[in-house]
Amino acid sequence: MNREEILAKLASGVSELEPEVAAEAAHEAKAAGITVVDAIQEGLSKGMNIISDLFDEGEMFVPQIIIAAEAFQGAVEILTEGMTADERGAMSRGKVICHTVQGDIHDVGKNIVKTMFAANGFEVIDMGRDVPVDDVVAKAKAENVDIVTGSALMTTTMPAQREIVNGLIEIGIRDNVKCLFGGAPVSQEWVDKIGADGYADNAADAVKVAIELVSG
C-alpha cells in the first residue's frame, strides 16, 4: 500500500467504527515510515472529523462515538509506542480540563465532550461532575492546562462559570488559560458577559473552538 492508501485506511478505520482496521493501518504506517503527526492529522483525525459531523447532524450517537474514539486512541498507542512522555506531550494539541460545574450533577454532555477532545489529540483531565470552583482553579494551575471547559445544565449553576474566570484572574494565570463553556442555558452572550473565551452548544463545535483557541 502507498502512503495515501494507508492514510485513507487510518481514516476509514475510525469513521467506519473498525478498531482492528485502524490498528492494522497504524502498523502499516509505521512500517512505511509515515510520521506520527502525519498519520494522526492526515489519517485518524480526518476519520474523527467525519464522526463529529455525523454526530452534529444527528446521524451518529454516543455508543458509536465511543467506538470511534477507541479506534482512534488504539491506533495512536501503536503509532507512539516507544516514544518518551516528552515526545508524546509535544504532539498534544493541548491540555484540557473537562467538568460539570459546581452544583450540577449532569454529566452526559461532559462525557461526550471529553471523548471528542481525547479523540482529537487533546490531553484530557476529567474532573467529573459537581466540581467546586476552587478545585478547578487549583487543578488548572497545578497541571498548567491550556483550556478549562465547564458545562452548566441549569441556570442556577451558570454563575460557577463566571467564578472560574474570576478565580483564574485572582491567582494570576488567566492570560495563560482559555475558558470554554457550554450547557443548555448557556449562550454566546453569557460567555461574552463573563469574560470567557469561547462558547459551544455541542461536542463537535467544542472541539473546533478549542482548536481555534490553542492555535490563535
Name residue 202's amino acid.
N
Q: Domain spanning 3-88: which CATH class is it, in words?
A: mainly alpha
How are beta strands 122-131 and 94-101 bridged, if at all? parallel
| Mean per-residue pLDDT, 78-103 | 89
For the cut 90, the answer to whether the pLDDT of residue 15 exceeds it is: yes
- Listed residue (63, 58, 160, 154) closest to 106, CA to CA: 154
Write the pLDDT tens digit of every residue in 138-162.
999 999 999 999 999 999 999 999 9
CATH 3.40.50.280 maps onto the chain at 92-215
Mean pLDDT score of the chain: 93
- Listed residue (58, 89, 77, 104) closest to 203, CA to CA: 58
More confident residue, 58 or 187: 187
What's the predicted TM-score (pTM) here? Answer: 0.78
- Taking the C-alpha atoms of residue 140 and residue 96, their distance in angstroms, rounded to an integer, is 9
Query: How would you class 131 by CB atoms within 10 Å of its CB: exposed for 0-12, middle for 13-18, buried for 19 or more?
Result: buried
Match 459546581 to its residue by C-alpha cell.
102
CATH 1.10.1240.10 maps onto the chain at 3-88
The answer to whether the beta carbons of residues 150 and 190 sit under 8 Å apart is no
For the cut 80, the answer to whether the pLDDT of residue 216 exceeds it is: no
Name residue 155's amino acid.
T
Right CATH number for 92-215 from 3.10.20.30, 2.40.10.10, 3.40.50.280, 3.40.1280.10? 3.40.50.280
30-34, 41-45, 117-121: lowest mean pLDDT where? Answer: 117-121
For the cut 80, the answer to whether the pLDDT of residue 89 exceeds it is: no
CA angle 164, 170, 173 (to 5 degrees): 80
Q: Name the band, by pLDDT with cuts 50, 70 and 90, for residue 167.
A: very high
